[in-house]
Amino acid sequence: MTIKRWIAIIVAAALVFVSIGINSLSYIFTRDFNGFFEDMMATSSSGYEEAIIEEGTGKDKIAVLSLDGVIQDLGDTSSLFQSAGYNHQYFMNQLTEILEDTNVKGVVLEVNSPGGGVVESADIYDALRMIQVEREIPLYVSMGGMAASGGYYVSAPADKIFVNRETITGSIGVIMESVNYAKLAEKYGIDFNTIKTGPYKDIMSGSREMKDEERVMLQEMINDSYERFVDIIEEGRGMTEAEVKKVADGRIMNGRQAIEAGLADEFGKAGDVIAAMKEDYNLQDATVFEYTSLDSWTSILGVKAGNMFGGNIESELIGKLLNDYNAPRMMYLYGEK
């Protein structure tokens, strides 16, 4: 990582913590101290609770999950720097809760995502398939404004996929990128001293041109992930390989085009999807709920930080800076990396 990048990250981090300090003082002095400490204590426990969306009768339940944002696991940085974004472990924990809760008789997955990492997308897919196989309960997907690439990957096993007319979906494929600044460095007389144990140890390094044999290696990796993506759609949608590959060239499509291509089933918003599941599986009396977290102390600077500190522009900035300069990796992702 260059000195300029380190400076950018340090400056952004300073902005975040200055903003947190100012907003924390503002929060405290605009409330009574008892209220402040009550809020702190209220977030000291951990775990989940169920927030009722529609009250029902009996024990049957329909779980509504929201997958919103880029599908990537940022580890410990996710709680601090991804306050309004996707938290991979948080989402995977919800899937585990559903697998273990025998009263859950159906799952509605709301997807609004451009996709993300191939590993994280596979994590979600595997967990959803386990729920379908072991619990034998239906999975319906409600696509929002975007459910592209990895967003479609995790949707593919659904029993039914609902779209809006303006939903952006598709973008079936894999991408891997890096920045090559070798010529720019040469222009300004910058040399790179690289000591490595093998000829390919610095593959995709931005400090030199990529070799043809390296491109072949990486293309083989990309092709493997692509074929798995195609297989998943074949199985989930009951399509042939030829039918899938006809539209699996990275193109995006709207809701109408997705239905015509066989990648989605019906038009409908979240409420319509819930109603359809109730009707299709005789779950009219089921309670519809979503999981909410019982936040820990770290969540004061994490998922619920916006409630206390206001907007999260600064935290999104530092999160993006930290993530953008990771090593190149394969992504099921549409749009800007």
Q: Could you give the residue numbers annotated as active site?
A: 149, 201
Closest-CA residue to 283 (of 147, 150, 167, 138): 138
What is the spatial distance between Cα 118 and Cα 329, in angstroms, rounded to a whole number? 9
Q: How far apart are the first and last CA of the chain?
A: 18
Closest-CA residue to 290 (of 42, 48, 46): 48
Contact 58, 42 (CB under 8 A): no
DSSP secondary structure, 151-219, as one string: HHHTTTT-SEEEE-TT-EEE--S-B------HHHHHHTT-------SSTTTTTT-TTSPPPHHHHHHHH
What is the spatial distance between Cα 175 and Cα 306, in angstroms, rounded to a whole number? 32
Closest-CA residue to 60 (of 282, 293, 280): 282
**How far from chain centre, in Å, is Cα 246?**
26
